[in-house]
Amino acid sequence: MNRPTALIADDEVLLAADLKGRLEALWPELDVCVFCHDGVDALARLESEKPDIAFLDIRMPGLTGLEVAARLDFACHMVFVTAYDQYAVEAFERAAVDYVLKPVGDERLAKTVERLKRVLGEEEIPERHRLAQVLEELLGRGSPGKPARAPMLKWIRASVGDTVRLIPTEEVRYFQAADKYTTIVTASGELLIRTSIKDLAAQLDPEVFWQIHRGTIVNVKFVAGAGHDESGRVLLSVRDRPEQLAVSRGYAHLFRQM
C-alpha cells in the first residue's frame, strides 16, 4: 500500500516545520511531500503533486486557505489550521475533515491523525460537495452580486498553557496590537492571541468596537470619559481599568462630544 502524502501550507515557516515534526512523530507512515508558505504556491503545488491531505493555514499571502481549497478540482482531504476564525471553525466542523487551532497541541493533533486515517480508508471523500458549498458561502460567492458578510465575532479563543479559554467579545475592554499578536484586555487581566489587530478589526462589530489608534481598538460601552494631556492629545478612561488609552489625531473627532 502506498504511503499517504500531505502538503503543509503556512506562511509561518517555524510553525510549518513544527507541524511537520509533530506529524512525523504521531504518524511515521505519512509522507509530507511539500512545504508552501503562500497561497498561490500552495494551489500550484497541490494541483501538480495531488497529495492525499492538505494542511492549509487560513491566512496566507496571495490566496487564503479557503480560496485555495475552493479552487481545487481534485479530491483531497482538507485540514484547516486557524488561530481566530470562529465562524469558519463552525463551518469546518460540518464540512471539512478537521480543523486545528493554533498553537497545535499533540493531543489535539493525534485526534486529527486518527480521523484522517479513518477517512483515508473510505472509498471516496464524504460530502465533498458540501465542503465546496460552504467555502463558496464563506468567500461571498453564494449569492451573485451580493457578497456574503461574515458574522461578527462573539467569542475569542485564547490559549493559556495547555487549556483554551473562550472570552466573550462583549467583556473585552480593548485590544492592543503586539506585532503579529494582539493583547486582549478585560476587567480581570490580559491575554495574548496570535491574530493581528487588522484581522480582528474585520471581524468585530464596528458599532461597538472603535479603532482609536493604529494599534488600539476600544469597546465603546466601557469608555468612561475623554480628556486631554498637556500636548492636547485625547486620552480615554476605561471602566475597570487603571490605564488611559491614547487616541491618535485621525480618530479624535469621535470623542469631541465627551
- pLDDT by residue (tens digit) across 190-241? 999 988 898 888 889 888 999 999 999 999 999 999 999 999 899 999 999 9
Q: Which of 164 and 190 is assigned the larger pLDDT?
A: 190
Q: Which residues lie closer than 8 Å to 73 by C-beta, 6 or more apart?
A: 47
Q: Which of 177 and 144 is assigned the larger pLDDT?
A: 177
User: What pLDDT was estimated at residue 19?
Assistant: 92
Give φ, ψ of 25 to 5 degrees. Answer: -70, -40
Q: Which residues lie closer than 8 Å to 40 by C-beta, 6 or more apart?
A: 61, 62, 63
User: What pLDDT was estimated at residue 149?
Assistant: 47
C-beta neighbour count of 32 within 10 angstroms = 20
User: What pLDDT was estimated at residue 147?
Assistant: 42
User: What pLDDT was estimated at residue 137?
Assistant: 61
User: What pLDDT was estimated at residue 191?
Assistant: 94
7-21, 52-66, 77-91, 199-213: the lowest-pLDDT one? 77-91
CATH class of 157-255: mainly beta
The Cα diameter of the chain in Å comes to 74
Task: Over range 165-177, report the average pLDDT.
Answer: 94
Mean pLDDT across the chain? 84
Residue 134 has pLDDT above 70, yes or no: no
User: What pLDDT was estimated at residue 144?
Assistant: 40
Q: Which of 241 and 145 is assigned the larger pLDDT?
A: 241
Question: By the 8 A CB rule, do 258 and 251 touch?
Answer: no
CATH class of 5-138: alpha beta
User: What pLDDT was estimated at residue 213?
Assistant: 94
| Confidence category of residue 150, pLDDT binned at 50, 70, 90 | low
pLDDT digits 0-9 by tens, 15-45? 888 899 999 999 999 999 888 989 999 999 9
Element of type H or E holding 235: strand 234-238
- State the Cα–Cα distance between residues 158 and 167, nearest whole angstrom: 8
Question: For the chain, what are the domain ranges?
Answer: 5-138, 157-255
Q: Which of 231 and 92 is assigned the larger pLDDT?
A: 231
Element of type H or E holding 1: none
Return the half-sphere exposure (C-beta side, CA atoms, 13 A cut-off) of residue 181.
12
pLDDT digits 0-9 by tens, 93-132? 545 688 787 777 888 899 999 999 988 887 555 455 556 6
Q: Say if strands 77-82 and 53-57 run parallel, antiparallel, or are unpaired.
A: parallel
Task: Over range 86-93, report the average pLDDT.
Answer: 57
Report the b/e string of 98-137 with b at 16+ CB within 10 A.
Answer: bbbbbebeeeebeebbeebeeeeeeeebeeeeebeebbee
Model confidence pTM above 0.85 = no
| Confidence category of residue 159, pLDDT binned at 50, 70, 90 | confident
